[in-house]
Amino acid sequence: MVGPRCAECGTELPAGSGRGRPRRYCSRGCQARAYRRRRDRGRTATSWRRAGTADGDRATGREELIRTAVRLADADGLDAVTVRAVAHRAGLTTDAVYRWTRNRDELLAAMAEHVLRAGRPRDRTRQPPRERLGRLARAEWSMYRNHPWLLTVLARTRPPTGPAVLALVDAAVEVLTAAGYDVPDAFAGYLTLSGYVQGMALLHVAERAERDAGAAAWGTWSARTLALLEQTGRTRERPWLAAVATATADPDRELDRWFEFGLARLLDGLIPA
């Protein structure tokens, strides 16, 4: 028979003496966290850690912890994600976080798995290979746009190798082998495609970093830069400078257009019509 558990962390409480009020918390730390939670969120707020630490529901707490880390990375960037910061954001001790993840690298890998599972498109095998490959590339592009920190986690020679990461490669290799490539060349094709997507995503990550640093709006910067280049005579033989500077004041829209332009031609090379 399972005995009473801590109202905050779910740890089983030691047997009491039978006198006085029943014990609700396993430690003063849990009692203090419960007090802060009620103070900040109201008396009816409950702790998700309670379910997460109970037998059979451990995955619930781990998934909530990962979602908290993803939200932190989305808002403040990957540098803000430390075990201590995630623990503080979730209202946990670092020891409690380490019960679900051994270190920061494991936490980042779990965050990538979470985003990739949510963003993976349904594979429509009846579509032609070119369209299927394009859908995979656009899905990856969208994930980097929505979660810029994901690029840092995946664009490495030693990326995490969780099921969702491997499934990302599986899907592209499957399409390319169906199009006639042998397995080594299909993997090379995946690297070519993913390398293009990640390279273009770097522009989005850089633009976000500029904004976060308080830089001038892209339209303002491009107009000023073009004026300076015209003064120095550097635009005379470079009509593309004016075309880029006056294209649009919305860098996100322009990045999407550049991405689609390059993707169409890369797909033409990998799977000719």
Residues 79 and 212 in one domain: no
| Residue % of the chain over a pLDDT of 70 | 82
Structural domain tally of the chain? 2
Residues 259 and 171 in one domain: yes
Residues 89 and 140 in one domain: no
> Cβ neighbours of residue 127 under 8 Å, at least 6 residues apart?
135
Render pLDDT for 189-248 as a digit per residue (tens, 0 to 9): 999 999 999 999 999 888 888 888 888 887 788 788 888 888 888 888 888 887 776 666
Range of the domain at 88: 56-102
Higher pLDDT, 46 or 203: 203
For residue 78, give the nearest of 40, 111, 126 by alpha carbon: 111
- Residue 76, in any domain of the structure: yes
- Residue 36, in any domain of the structure: no
Mean pLDDT of the chain: 83
Q: What is the pTM of this model?
A: 0.73
Q: What is the CATH number of the domain that holds 218?
A: 1.10.357.10
| Residue % of the chain over a pLDDT of 90 | 44
CB-neighbour burial class of residue 164 (10 A; exposed 0-12, middle 13-18, buried 19+): middle
CA 255 – CA 202 distance, rounded (Å)? 10
Render pLDDT for 49-86 as a digit per residue (tens, 0 to 9): 544 444 334 555 788 889 999 999 999 999 999 999 99
CA 223 – CA 99 distance, rounded (Å)? 53
- Residue 25, in any domain of the structure: no
Residues 96 and 135 in one domain: no
Q: What is the CATH number of the domain that holds 71?
A: 1.10.10.60
Residues 92 and 135 in one domain: no
- Residue 171, in any domain of the structure: yes
